[in-house]
């Protein structure tokens, strides 16, 4: 049926780390009483794709720059307008990507070779 997708390696153009905006919660199911086990959940917040990401997907994680990490992580920060203003696509120049082998699609495969650039002229994708 559907056309196979070409995997890509996405990384910071200048190297370093990326921090994605997320939310987490620890709670107990009230229906199970006060001694119910703790449930832990988390989510990554997404936004519209920037120009770099758009050829791959229409959404992307919200990526937070280091100067706002403290504001995002501060549990006493109740400035909803200020926090909401952070939920925007990353600058186009923040990320770079290149095609990689479909070997990344198998969780048993490991190694640095999985993120090496491949020549798309040597790749045949299913039609």
Q: Cβ contacts of residue 114 below 8 Å, gap of 6+?
A: 100, 101, 103, 104
Contact 98, 8 (CB under 8 A): yes
Q: Is 6 exposed, middle or buried (0-12, 13-18, 19+ CB in 10 A)?
A: middle
Among residues 82, 93, 84, which one has the least CA distance to residue 52?
Answer: 93
Is the pLDDT reported for residue 106 higher than 80?
A: yes
What pLDDT, in 10s, does the model give residues 10-31?
999 999 999 999 999 999 999 9
pTM of the model: 0.82
Structure confidence at residue 124 (pLDDT): 61
The set of residues, in sequence order, having a beta carbon less than 8 Å from that of 89 and lying 6+ positions away, is 47, 48, 49, 50, 53, 60, 62
**Element (H or E) spanning 69, and its range?**
helix 69-73
Give just the sign of the alpha carbon dihedral 30, 31, 34, 35. negative
Q: pLDDT, tens digit, for every residue of 48-78?
A: 999 999 999 999 999 999 999 999 999 999 9
């Amino acid at each position: 049926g559907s056309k196979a997708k070409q995997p890509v390696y996405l990384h910071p153009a200048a190297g370093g780390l990326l921090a994605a905006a997320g939310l987490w919660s620890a709670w107990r199911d009230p229906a199970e009483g006060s001694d119910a086990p703790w449930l832990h959940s988390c989510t990554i917040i997404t936004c519209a794709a920037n120009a770099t990401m758009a050829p791959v997907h229409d959404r992307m994680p919200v990526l937070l720059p280091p100067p706002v990490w403290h504001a995002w992580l501060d549990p006493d920060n109740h400035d909803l307008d200020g926090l909401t203003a952070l939920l925007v696509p990353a600058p186009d120049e923040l990320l770079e990507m290149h095609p990689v082998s479909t070997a990344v699609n198998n969780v048993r495969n490991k190694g640095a070779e999985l993120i090496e650039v491949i020549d798309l002229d040597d790749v045949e994708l299913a039609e």
